[in-house]
């Protein structure tokens, strides 16, 4: 393998990796407004910081930013100085669901995803497995429509995994968080004590806010845990573990 050489030889030196937070860009892209003036303005500000750090390759590690239209916008802003690499072939749910299916053969699994690129990956991965169903849509908004028909056919929902949901940092966006008072109220109407929720995040603020909401709901039987259940992790979880970043976990039920 040839040794990597940056185009600008003045910046040649020891290869290094630098991390930059781009959560706000992910949030805007998730809302479908990557072609907005605000997104472009924030992207230029972020990319300017990358260029000033003398980086040659920019790795966008969230699949939503690898959507064709969004990727084209970001690459245009980066220009010729930065090479963009988009993580369009990584799907956290794919490995997570597959590992659980292998660990518990005979069980049925629902994989819920709203991003089109990930949906296509999941459907391709599990196309020949009848016990794994991939559903396209917003689980938060379609929760009862998804679960009730299953229960009417005799299904018992044992475990619900909420792994690293969007933290929606801005106060005005807190209502968009997956676990909310409204979500738990609707969940209380269709789940009994046989169902356990597993919640994981690397955002302390989100965890504390969610914990308070759960404590004030009927799902107030709460247990904190340190390691992944059954040793099965998501891609994002493994990345955070390699960084030695804290991960906050709890499970709750009625």
**Rounded Cα–Cα distance for residues 93 and 163 (Å):** 9
Range list of H helices, the chain? 23-30, 37-52, 68-78, 92-103, 116-125, 139-152, 181-190, 204-215, 235-242
- Whether 166 is catalytic is yes
Residue from 62, 166, 209, 235 carrying the catalytic annotation:
166
Q: Cα–Cα distances in Å, from 249 out to 18, 84, 130, 243?
A: 27, 33, 30, 17
**Rounded Cα–Cα distance for residues 220 and 127 (Å):** 37
**Rounded Cα–Cα distance for residues 199 and 66 (Å):** 26
**Catalytic residue annotation:** 166
């Amino acid at each position: 393998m040839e040794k990597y050489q940056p185009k600008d030889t003045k910046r040649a030196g020891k290869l290094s990796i630098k991390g930059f937070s781009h959560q706000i860009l992910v949030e805007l892209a998730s809302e479908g407004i990557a072609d907005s003036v605000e997104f472009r303005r924030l992207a230029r500000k972020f990319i300017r910081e990358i260029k000033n750090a003398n980086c040659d390759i920019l790795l966008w590690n969230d699949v939503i930013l690898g959507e064709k239209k969004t990727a084209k916008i970001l690459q245009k802003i980066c220009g010729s100085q930065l090479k963009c690499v988009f993580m369009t072939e990584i799907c956290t749910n794919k490995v997570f669901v597959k590992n659980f299916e292998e660990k518990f053969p005979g069980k049925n699994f629902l994989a819920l995803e709203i991003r089109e690129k990930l949906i296509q990956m999941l459907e391709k991965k599990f196309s020949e497995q009848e016990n794994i169903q991939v559903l396209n849509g917003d689980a938060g908004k379609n929760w009862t429509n998804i679960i009730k028909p299953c229960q009417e056919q005799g299904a018992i929902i044992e475990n619900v995994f909420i792994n690293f949901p969007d933290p929606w940092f801005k106060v005005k966006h807190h209502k968009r968080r997956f676990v909310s008072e409204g979500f738990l109220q609707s969940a209380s109407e269709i789940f009994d004590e046989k169902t356990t929720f597993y919640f994981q995040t690397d955002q302390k603020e989100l965890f504390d806010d969610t914990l308070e909401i759960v404590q004030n709901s009927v799902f107030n039987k709460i247990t904190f845990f340190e390691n992944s259940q059954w040793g099965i992790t998501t891609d994002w979880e493994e990345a955070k573990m390699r960084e030695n970043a804290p991960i906050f976990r709890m499970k709750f039920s009625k």
